[in-house]
Amino acid sequence: MLLNVVENFKKYTLNSLPTLLEKLAYISSLQNPEGRYRHWGLGRIFGDHRAQKGIATLHSELAMELIRIPVKNIYRDYFTARQRPGHFELLKPESLALKAPFNGDELLSAHLRLIQGSLASVAGQEIASHRAS
């Protein structure tokens, strides 16, 4: 049975990322400034239109899920992920980007920017305190 785009993306790509934050950071990294996603495998298997629609659907679901989580839990997941050997490059404060899907939801975009800024700020403070020690 051929999986649909969302199921395929979850199973073969996102399943390797343990936290919701990592999944959203990864999907955000796939999105270009025009709102299109770059994922060669899904486009090849399902066609560009279905791949774009499937990734956008999942992006929206994950973004909405993240903003419903208490900030202290997001921080915990962030620091837990950063402690893992070979941690996810996209979670570094200088490269962290949490983008909203291109659906015109400015409130969601602003909320994700606030979470991103908070994580980067707290991570920067943690790095500075380690250097001072």
Least confident of 20-34, 73-87, 117-131: 117-131
| DSSP summary character for residue 101 | P
Q: What is the pTM of this model?
A: 0.88
Q: What is the pLDDT of residues 94-128, one digit of tens each?
A: 888 999 999 888 999 999 999 999 998 888 776 55
User: What confidence category does residue 89 fall into, taking pLDDT thresholds of 50, 70 and 90?
Assistant: confident
Q: How far apart are the first and last CA of the chain?
A: 56
Q: What is the mean pLDDT of the chain?
A: 89
What residues contact residue 6 under an 8 Å CB cut-off, 6+ apart? 54, 57, 58
Query: What ranges in 1-133 are assigned the alpha helix state H?
Result: 5-12, 20-30, 40-46, 48-67, 71-83, 106-132
pLDDT at 39 > cutoff 80: yes
Closest CA to 100 of 74, 66, 71, 52: 66
